[in-house]
A and B are shown apart, each in its own frame.
Chain A
Amino acid sequence: KAGVTQTPRYLIKTRGQQVTLSCSPISGHRSVSWYQQTPGQGLQFLFEYFSETQRNKGNFPGRFSGRQFSNSRSEMNVSTLELGDSALYLCASSYRDINHEQYFGPGTRLTVT
């Protein structure tokens, strides 16, 4: 069974631009969660989607948004990029909305210059 895939793997953007990242979960999984990982802050939760509904949201500004499609694929959008948005963005998928093993993708490395 194929794992979680994320595209693109690497991205370089300029301050003020916007970016869209994509996550395809394991087949049959309906939950997708997004995390930001930086050396200073570690892994921080962005949001979770289950069956196209946002179920939970972390403490990030409104520039960070996401959505989930009917095939469970999810996208994350960051508008008006700032230097501090440079990070590894990871998504995780799970079969259920609670209490089930979660699997992570390889991540998208975003660099903002």
Chain B
Amino acid sequence: KQEVTQIPAALSVPEGENLVLNCSFTDSAIYNLQWFRQDPGKGLTSLLLIQSSQREQTSGRLNASLDKSSGRSTLYIAASQPGDSATYLCAVTALNTGNQFYFGTGTSLTVIP
């Protein structure tokens, strides 16, 4: 069964710092990996989707990489801002379970002004 782990569970950084969030998964047979952010009590906002054949995706200050063979992904956030404070979740879909996401437990990020 696919298991997804995110480290660290919580992170606090001063505004302006660059940071990296980590995601690892146990089974490399994935279709894709998607990064989300979740604000308290709200739904999930899609940040980046990486197909299994891709190595990275970029959107603004965000860059996500994927190393399928080692079962790892990183989300890089440049020049962090207080508005980036949220929980960040990574999720993978597997080859035999269609659109079902296997979620990590998330990293709670606080950016201090």
Q: Chain A residues in contact with chain B, CB under 8 A?
A: 4, 6, 31, 33, 35, 42-43, 45, 48, 50, 55-56, 58, 88, 90, 92, 94, 97-107, 109
Contacts and interface: CB of A to CB of B under 8 A. Distances in A.
Given A99-B31, A103-B46, A104-B36, A33 B101 contact: yes
Interface stretch (B13-21, B69-77, B92-100): B92-100
B49 A101 contact: yes
Contacts of A42: 103, 105-106
Contacts, number: 67
Nearest to A105: B43
A98 B93 CA distance: 8
Interface of B: 31-32, 34, 36, 41-46, 49, 51, 89, 91, 93, 97-103, 105-106
Contact of B99 (A58, A90, A94): A94
Given A101-B46, A102-B34, A105-B43, A48 B100 contact: yes
15 contacts: A31-B98, A42-B106, A43-B89, A43-B91, A45-B100, A45-B102, A48-B100, A50-B98, A56-B97, A92-B99, A98-B93, A101-B34, A102-B101, A104-B45, A106-B43
A90 B43 contact: yes
A109 B40 CA distance: 12
Nearest to A49: B99
A98 B103 contact: no
The 7 closest A-B CB pairs, nearest first, are: A104-B44, A43-B103, A106-B43, A99-B31, A104-B43, A101-B49, A107-B43
A107 B49 contact: no
Contacts of B102: 45
Contacts of A56: 97-100
A35 B93 CA distance: 14
A6 B44 CA distance: 13
